Amino acid sequence: MEFGFAPEDEAFRGEVRAWLGAHAPAGADRRGWERTLGAAGWIGLGWTEGGYGNRTATLTQQVAWAEEYARSAAPPRSGHIGENLLAPTLIAHGSDAQKARFLPAVAAGEELWCQGYSEPGAGSDLAGVRTAAVREADGYRVTGQKIWTSLAHEADWCFVLARTEPGSRRHHGLTFLLVPMDQPGRIEVRPIRQMTGTSDFNEVFFDGAHARAEHVVGGVGDGWRVAMSLLGFERGVSTLAQQIGFAEELGRVVRDAVATGAADDPVVRARLVRLWAELRVMRWNALRTLGGQVAEPGAPSVAKLLWAGWHQRLGELAVLVRGAGASVGPADWSAAAPYELDAAQHLFLFSRADTVYGGSDQVQRTIIAERVLGLPREPKGVES
């Protein structure tokens, strides 16, 4: 799955592969691993402004890094929200003081971030947030609830979209705030248990949490513009790394199909070939949009629709080829202990959420209809 890498890029890939092979244990402490990455200069490869990152790397070299990381046995990243979402947003909209304060800590793997966007009544409808931030002499007091907050139980900071103008509606009167998570009695994090038995995301309750005035990004009331800019950074090089992981999952499903005899069924074989072909199309589409000089309207939504549905179909096929064996866990299931899942079961259950988180399929289709096809905008209900 290589793509037109020049000799110097392939040399960079070799350096990445050698370093990961020597330093990437499968079960390392995630916070400690972020510090290891930062000390070796592997965080912030794409930051070209102000010298806040570590190593400099071309776009193709960033792709090589992401792909080799996905192929290695390296632990899941805890710092990707700070590196891939907050950092580009601060580079685009932050003050010099904000960049100097936060970017070096992210690049060193010293501070972890989470994203305070979705709320119980405003999941995919981001403009409907109700979390309020009231101005005080030295900053803001934030009150409200966020949900589906990935890694909030590990994060040191949260970037929060809050309503700072009382009575404002929709995308007006919103502000992008940087809020420290270590505020006992003012911030409570409650893990949400998923079908897989794990808790990767959380509810977060703000009860008068403090945010300093100098930690407003982009200006008071300009939070919607900053938030939309951040969502544009949410996909890019990481999409290609994600597809490497998808390819490995597809390979496991193929091996299971051969081992169980399910591959002898022509319908199963046709589904496997279709998934393989669709994954190739997703890769070339990602490379095409990644290398474009101008961002294509709706491109992130198209990519989300493609991979979310693909991943769900892969999860369904993963248990289908296992037959009755897919209903048996790797360890004894009982009410007395958390249940364990094998790779196929985890894939099937976790992928059910793919078409919901990060913007549901319905929301992505609305974005494409309005911003790409120019269809009339969807009417919004009147808030009570």
Active-site positions?
Answer: 234
Give the SS3 label for residue 7: helix
Side-chain-side CA neighbours of 281 within 13 Å: the count stands at 11
Do 131 and 144 touch, CB atoms closer than 8 A?
A: yes
131: Cα within 13 Å, side-chain hemisphere: 32
Taking a C-beta distance cutoff of 8 angstroms, is the pair 179, 159 a contact?
yes
d(CA 44, CA 54): 6
Pairing of strands 187-192, 201-212: antiparallel
Tell me how far apart the alpha carbons of residues 144 and 142 are, in angstroms, rounded to a whole number: 7
The Cα–Cα gap between 56 and 72 comes to 22
Phi, psi of 157, rounded to the nearest 5 degrees: -140, 160
Question: What is the SS3 assignment for 178?
Answer: strand
Neighbouring C-beta atoms of residue 316, cutoff 10 Å? 14
> What are the helix and strand counts (H, E) for the chain?
12, 8
d(CA 286, CA 300): 9
Q: How far apart are CA 9 and CA 23, in angstroms?
A: 21
Nearest residue to 90 (alpha-carbon basis) of 230, 211, 210, 222:
230
**Distances from the Cα of 103 to the Cα of 37, 62, 87, 200, 357, angstroms:** 15, 18, 6, 24, 27
Q: Are 339 and 329 in contact (CB under 8 A)?
A: yes
